[in-house]
Structures are given as structure tokens and as C-alpha cells.
Amino acid sequence: MNKKVKVQDLGHKDYKETWDYQETLFKDIVDLKVKNRREGADVDTPNHFLFVEHPHVYTLGKSGDMDNLLVDEQVLKTKGATFYKINRGGDITYHGPGQVVGYPILDLDNFFTDIHKYLRFLEEMVILTLAEYGLKAERSEGETGVWLDVGTPFARKICAMGVRASRWVTMHGFALNVNTDLGYFDLMIPCGIKDKAVTSLNVELGKKEVDMEEVRQKLLNHFVTLFNAELVKEKTEA
């Protein structure tokens, strides 16, 4: 089992370009698994962890409801935003500047073959990271992602998650609001969940800006512990 995970920070990158890149990495792993099985081989499958910051974009999961986007695409254009229907689970979400977006593309045969456990570990990675900033983050029953003040009238979501998996290979991932312009969430019903607020790390800490690289490093530290992984830093994809 290959526990090495190649980490790339793609910087600021268009959503569609990043999605295409994810699909390429995902397909390469799946194809290698099929070849291994067909030929009785045992070639190690690679694992990847992409960090990226997207321009303003709204994405709708395969089980999502278009009614949860509250404006048409013409209005989105005036806001400098784009829209895509995509192949992850979950409903509608927003990505934009000031968000730490992570896409682990892992062969879970290298770790554990349990999608439920995989999602809980991603949530735990974020929960432990936020704890380092003095925030008590939690899960909300039946609502994937990471929340604050669960079970109170002040419940608010700070991290959205949605993944796709095939042959135990994952793609898509999480979006943690760090220095995010929360006004963009007003154009949708986040994750299709009504009457729940959204927040960001800088708002919770009362800071103008939080160091994004510091957040990414803390996330990786907890990822390594939870997944018993070994990180390999890769050059940024051009």
C-alpha cells in the first residue's frame, strides 16, 4: 500500500481547468488499478492532494436542485462568477478567493476502503485545524461538512464538502472559508440547507485576514496523522 501523497498548490486557477486536471489524475489511477487487476500486477497507485484558490464559481452536485441557485447566470456574470453542474455528491456550493480548497485524489485501497470513514476523516482534519485557532468546530448530524454552534439558533457552516469515488479512488473534496467574501453565499441556498448561516475563519477570529498558507500547513499536518500518510511536495502544475 502506497502511503505517499503528492501535494501540489495550484495557486489561483480556473475551476474548469482544475476539474479537468483532477479528472486526468483520477483516470490515471483508475486505469492503473484496472491494468493491475487484468494483468495480475501489483504496481503502486499514486495519491494526490491538490490545493487551489478559485475565481468566483458556483457548482451543483449531481443530486442538487437548481432552485438552490437564487439568481440566473446573467446575474452571476455581473458578479464575475461562473456556474457548473459537476459529478460530485452534494448540492450547490460556492468557491472563491479567500477559500482554502482541497482536492484529495486518493486510492483508498492504500489507506482504508470506507467512504463514510473517509468523509469523517476529512471533517476531523478541519475540526482539528480550527481547534488550533481556538474554535470549537463540530459535525452536524445528517449534514456533511464542518459547523460552529451546532444545535443552536446560531449554527453556521465554515467548511463544505462533496466527493466522488469510483473503484475506491476519490476526487473533489472540501472548501474551508478563511478570508472569504460571504456576500457571495447570499446568491444561493448553501448545500441546499435553508435557514443556516455561513461563516469564515477571519470573521470568527475578528481579523481582517488570516494567513492562508498557515491554514494549509495545519490541514496537511492533521491529514498526515489521520491517514498515516507521507507527503511529497510537487511543483505547481503550469
Are 41 and 34 in contact by the 8 Å Cβ rule? The answer is no
Sign of CA dihedral 83, 84, 90, 94: negative
Known binding residues for substrate: 88-95, 160-162, 173-175
- d(CA 178, CA 99) in angstroms, rounded, equals 5
In the sheet where 92-95 sits, what is the strand order?
A: 82-85, 57-60, 92-95
Active site residues: 191
**Binding-site annotation, residues:** 88-95, 160-162, 173-175
**CB-based burial, 191-223: b 16+ in 10 Å, e otherwise:** bbbeeebbbbbbbbeeeeebebeebbebbbebb
Phi, psi at residue 225, to the nearest 5°?
-65, -50
Residue located via cell numbers 458556483:
58
**Residue 12: CA atoms inside 13 Å, Cβ hemisphere, count?**
5
Q: What is the rounded CA–CA span in Å between residue 19 and residue 4?
A: 22
Strand 137-140 relative to strand 99-105: parallel, antiparallel, unpaired?
unpaired
Rounded to whole angstroms, how far apart are CA atoms 162 and 143?
Answer: 11
